[in-house]
Structure 1
Amino acid sequence: MSIITNPILRGFNPDPSIVRVGEDFYIATSTFEWFPGVQIHHSRDLKNWQLIGHPLQRSSQLNMLGNPDSGGIWAPCLSYADGVFYLIYTDVKSHLGPFKDTPNYMVTATDIHGPWSEPIYLNSSGFDPSLFHASDGKKWLLNLMWDHRKGKNPFGGIIMQEYSVEEQRLVGPIHNLFRGTELGLTEGPHLYEHGGYYYLITAEGGTRFGHAATVARSASLLGPYEADPQGPLVTSAGKPELALQRAGHASLVETQNGEWYIAHLCGRPLRPSMQCNLGRETALQRVAWTEDGWLRLADGGNSPYVTVQGPDLPEHPFEEPAAELFGPDGLSLHLASLRQPVSEEWASLTARPGYLRLLGGQSLYSAFHQSLLARRQQSFTVEAQTAVEFEPLHYQQMAGLVYYYNNKNYYYLHITRDEEQGRYLTLMTSDRGIYDEPLEQAISVEGWEQVHLKLQADHERLSFYYSRDGVDWTAIGPVLDAGKISDENAETVIDGYLIDQGFTGAFIGICAQDLSGTRKPADFAYFTYRELEQSEQ
């Protein structure tokens, strides 16, 4: 049998929802403010996973302009019944302070590759929605109910309401199934029917280092639900020595041979900082049913394993994607934009054949129209490279290579111009919204037709380079801290109040800004991403 090495989905791929359809396995993961919405990976063996698409491709399905950092798509649920794929998702419009604005929607498709339907609005009572297909043919929507009231537990319980396929809406009474255990922060529900019981798997303990997945069961669909007396199914809480931290938020799948696995969220921190710049990732654990009907890790305990016995299935490896992120065939599936779909209005492969033209957009602080294309960092040691042709007229026009977490946390090597230095190369940084330009002296690139830019990340060390010919490279600026591009650094608490939080991971991208509004174009000759070694630590 094969050996599965975790995480199976490296880099920012959190909140996995796994489903099997025949011999095919699919996992849907959260994308937050990144467009297109929801990543779907495919496997035939649970070991080799390939990104195959994104269901939410149109603004009519997902309009995130103005969404806050780490808003947008939270914890989608992918399911299948009666020849139809169902995708349930939240488009989070606010998540700081006492309130959360969380409209939930459904799209469907008869083919995993689409086309996916226009969305059906469901409710807004909370986040992390999922759909349960009962054996009697009924369908039920579950989600966390958010309680904003002073003195109340904001995680107000996992609620369930029937969904009418004929009426395309929720019908009947709302049932509060489960208010959680002492771990608290009960969210991320998935409901399953097995062996005469209904099993509710929830995330608890928060998605940081206290995270866990809890199982509760009931002989009746409407409860009451009893939590597993042995505690969480999987957790890394209190075990800092484990390679896989932040374990929780699980979903369950059975192979065609009757083997059981959970897909769950995890993170691999840089050490000793314990910052997870790769974001929250997806791992797989083999599970088994006990004689008295509880679900447990097959290898014992509740700590996540890095290596797991694979299922009794033939291996189906796939060819790794090329390093180039755009070319004659279009944009790589791995490229994402912020809050809006890619369109000829700001990104074009035809305006200048052989180049990707970005028209200058709003600043990196904007939650609206940024001209930025980026891909996830999926290894601790990577190299990304680009070449840009750009003739800025003044200092409000910029283009270059960015290492990005959100609009308050990034490092940006870019070309610009001012009245004293002419066209030059410089570095911009933002750490929790505090802006800086760390170079003591900018680098003149007057007369250069192309400027080649390179980024190298080696765990916590991040370095930028530049070149005139793409062969001879010169380092620019100090060695930077890649760990700052992480959830842990983004989370900001002042006087006991949560001021900012984040749930994504590091992206490497190309971008262009024109703060004067004249949309000055920048032409990128290439953009490549290479992993220098398998990401282990």
Structure 2
Amino acid sequence: MSSHTTVQNPILPGFNPDPSVVAVGDDFYIATSTFEWYPGVQIHHSKDLKNWRLVKRPLDRKSLLDMRGNPDSCGIWAPCLTHHDGKFHLIYTDVKRFNGNFKDAHNYYTTCETIDGEWSEPVYMNSSGFDPSLFHDDDGRKWFINMIWDHRHENNQFGGILLQEYCEKQKKLVGPIKNIFKGTKLALTEAPHMFKRNGYYYLLTAEGGTFYTHAMTMARSKNIDGPYEEDPHGYLLTAKDHQDLGLQRTGHGDLFDAPDGQSYLVHLCGRPLDGERRCPLGRETGLQKTLWGDDDWLRLESAVDAEANGNSTTSNGLPEMEVKVSNLPEHPWPAKTERYTFDSEELHIDFQWLRTPTPESFMSLTARKGHLRLIGKESIGSLFEQALIARRQEAFAYTAQTELEFSPENVQQMAGLTCYYNSTKFHYLYVSVDDEGQRFVDIMSCLGKSDMGLNFPLREGHCGEFITDTRFMLPKEGKVYLKAEVDHHKLTFHFSMNNKDWTKLPVNLDYTIISDEAGGGDGCHFTGGFVGMACQDVSGQKCVADFASFTYKENS
């Protein structure tokens, strides 16, 4: 039997950025950012580094997280998951502002004895910056680390990495605050994680921004508060000088050891569409194998092999799509759900909603047996209260379908199926009525602040929601089946009254708008594509829409 098995990157496809990893015995856990999506923080579990399943979103109640009003791509940034003293420790940031000079980033700390249990009430830590982490030193002390955000326009806003001690007894940060690392010339230094090995404190950071110049930097010191020396080998991981690689935007990540002592890193990455620097799947999580050198510096195994074979063209570590890992016992999980029904009193873990800790205000799984009922709330672009339930896109090509019963009474009521990136970038196949009460199906799109060419007539002005004027009239009553077909760059919408005879709406939509890089909106963004069900009632009458099923099927 081979001593290795091959893992295909990314290991967590779809919107799963800023990974933090911990190994506990023969179990591996990865926590990733969720931004404005609720509940906060995704935690995946694996036993073989190849097969992963979502097991928990711990920030699931108001005392732990309330994001109503948070702008797009604010909310939960870069959690840090560790395990020490028999329990899990989670550090997280709730960012309240994106634009302007300030970030208003509040950092909190929660713990739990089991990964899927009820996490403790949060401890407030500080608000000086984002990307916080917690380091458990071998002398029993705990240290809190975060980047500092400098709001002054004449300064480097990424002002360095701060270190301060945390007192468990007092449940607060204590002692002096020290800036221990200002970063390299690549700048934009963030995402600190700390490790200790052979008498050195190692500081792992991300630099270069989270787009195509992203990188992972390592520095070390004999003293926890520095000074820290930069890795002489260059960046531990980056694709910034190799735009032809399948994995781009590689950086922000974390390190861990498998039970056999082999070291690995998990890292952020993106897969742009062919011919486009756009990633509808968002920022994903990849895995790379690493080796410690005789000089006590960590390097990618691929970089060491390339150098040994005389093939190295760079001192930086380059990401690989396929990685050989230790041949741990194969541990697959049950197959992923493709067709979701709503017979349970709990929503399937694949689904999330936006910002609010009170989903009962806009959804019910008990009001009508076997249905997800959405109660019409604010517009689909609202930052406060909206009725939208969706799941991640995890493949470049997929088909999503839902079965809707909806009887709108006025033009301000609508419900349907949406491919959604954020409040300024989405495509929406919706059912509503005209002024005469005639029910119809049509498409609404919002393209951010892009000047993309459109192949359909627009009803509204630029930088808002566009209606295609391709409506089809529907019977006054009865189920409507709605379908989205996504094939890399292209999206088409379809409807049916019997789930057999389908009508395609006569527009081909540019699906690349569902990405970080397209249509800037109010700035760069950090999430990924979702597809799901929505209902709006901007008249305030709280209309209801009942969904009997939802299907998400990946296409080859």
Q: Tell me the TM-score range normalised by the shorter chain.
A: over 0.9
Instruction: Note the residue ranges of structure 2 that are not aligned, 5 or more in a row.
Output: 304-315, 450-462
Letter in 2 for 1:13: N
1:43–1:441 distance in 2 versus 1, CA, 3 Å: closer
Matched residue, 1:211: 214
- Does 2:351 correspond to 1:335? yes
Q: What is the correspondence of 1:154-169 to structure 2 with a 5 Å cutoff?
A: 154-169=157-172
Q: Which amino acid aligns with 1:475?
A: K
Paired with 1:315 and 1:37, the residues of 2 have a C-alpha distance of: 30
Structure 1 counterpart of 2:78:
75
Inter-partner Cα distance in structure 1 for 2:445 and 2:511: 12
Quick one: distance in 1 between partners of 2:251 and 2:95?
A: 21
After TM superposition, give the deviation of residue 270 of structure 1 in Å.
0.8
- Give CA-to-partner distance per residue, 1:305-352, whole Å, 9 cap, x none: 000011231111112222133422332111000001363321111101
1:370 equivalent among 381, 386, 396: 386
One-letter amino acid matched to 2:508:
V
Runs of 4+ in 1 over 4 A off after TM superposition: none
**SS of residue in 1 equivalent to 2:66:** coil
1:410-431 Cα deviation digits (max 9, x unpaired): 0000000121471111110101
Mapped contact 2:207–2:215 kept (Cα < 8 A): yes
Q: Tell me how large the CA RMSD over aligned residues is.
A: 1.2
* Pair 1:149–1:439, CA change in 2 (3 A): closer
Distance between the aligned counterparts of 2:85 and 2:341, measured in 1? 38
Candidates 382, 389, 408, aligned match of 1:392: 408
Q: Is the 8 A contact 2:136 2:142 kept in 1?
A: yes
Give the Å deviation of 1:437: 3.9
Percent identity of equivalent pairs: 51
* Distance 1:5-1:159 versus aligned 2 partners, 3 A rule: same
AA matched with 2:409 = L
Tell me the secondary structure at the aligned position of residue 2 of structure 1: strand
Letter in 1 for 2:488: H
**Aligned amino acid, residue 478 of structure 1:** V
TM-score, L = length of structure 2: 0.93
Q: Does 1:409 align with 2:438?
A: no
Task: Confirm whether residue 58 of structure 1 aligns to residue 61 of structure 2.
Answer: yes
Q: Does 1:302 align with 2:349?
A: no
AA partner of residue 235 (structure 1): T
Query: SS of the residue aligned with 2:361?
Result: coil
Which of 472, 479, 488 is the equivalent residue of 1:459? Answer: 488
Question: Which amino acid is 1:90 matched to?
Answer: T
* C-alpha displacement of 1:438: 4.8
Q: Is the 8 A contact 1:257 1:312 kept in 2?
A: no
The residue type paired with residue 518 of structure 1 is Q
Question: Does the residue aligned with 2:512 lie in a helix, a strand or coil?
Answer: helix
1:414-473 Cα shifts (integer Å, max 9, x gaps): 000121471111110101162354534411112341000000111011111100111121
Letter in 1 for 2:554: E
In the alignment, which of 129, 132, 138 is matched to residue 132 of structure 2? 129
- Report the 3-state secondary structure (helix = DSSP H, G, I; strand = E; otherwise coil) of the residue aligned with 1:344: helix
In the alignment, which residue of structure 2 is the partner of 1:529? Answer: 552
Q: What residue is the counterpart of 1:513 in the other structure? A: 536
Distance 2:519 2:131 in 1: 22
Over residues 267-300 of structure 1, what are the superposed CA-to-partner deviations in whole Å (9 max), with x where a residue is unaligned? Answer: 0001212101100000000000111011100111
Match of 1:43 in 2: 46
1:313 alignment partner in structure 2: 328
Q: Is the Cα–Cα contact under 8 Å of residues 400 and 553 in structure 2 kept in the other structure?
A: yes
- For residues 188-212 of structure 1, the C-alpha deviation after alignment (integer angstroms, 9 at most, x for no partner) is 0000001111110000000000000
Moved more, 317-326 or 296-305: 317-326
Residue in 1 that maps onto 2:154: 151
- Pick closer, same or farther for the CA change 1:438–1:513 going to 2, 3 Å: closer
Structure-2 residue corresponding to 1:21: 24
SS in 1 for 2:234: coil
Q: Give the corresponding residue for 1:446.
A: 475
Q: Give the TM-score taking structure 1 as reference length.
A: 0.96
SS in 1 for 2:360: coil
What is the total number of aligned residue pairs between the two structures? 527
1:359 corresponds to: 375
Query: Which secondary structure state, in structure 2, belongs to the residue aligned with residue 210 of structure 1?
Result: coil
The question of 1:187 aligning with 2:202 is answered no
Q: Distance in 1 between matches of 2:400 and 2:62?
A: 29
Where 2:339 maps in the other structure, the secondary structure is coil
Q: Per the alignment, in what secondary structure is the counterpart of residue 299 of structure 1?
A: helix
Matched residue SS, 1:198: strand
1:334 and 1:437 map into 2 onto residues whose CA distance is 29
Note closer, same or farther for the CA distance 1:421–1:343 as it changes in structure 2 (3 Å cut): closer
* SS at 1:257 equivalent: coil
Match status 1:482 vs 2:545: no
Give the structure 2 partner of residue 275 of structure 1. 278
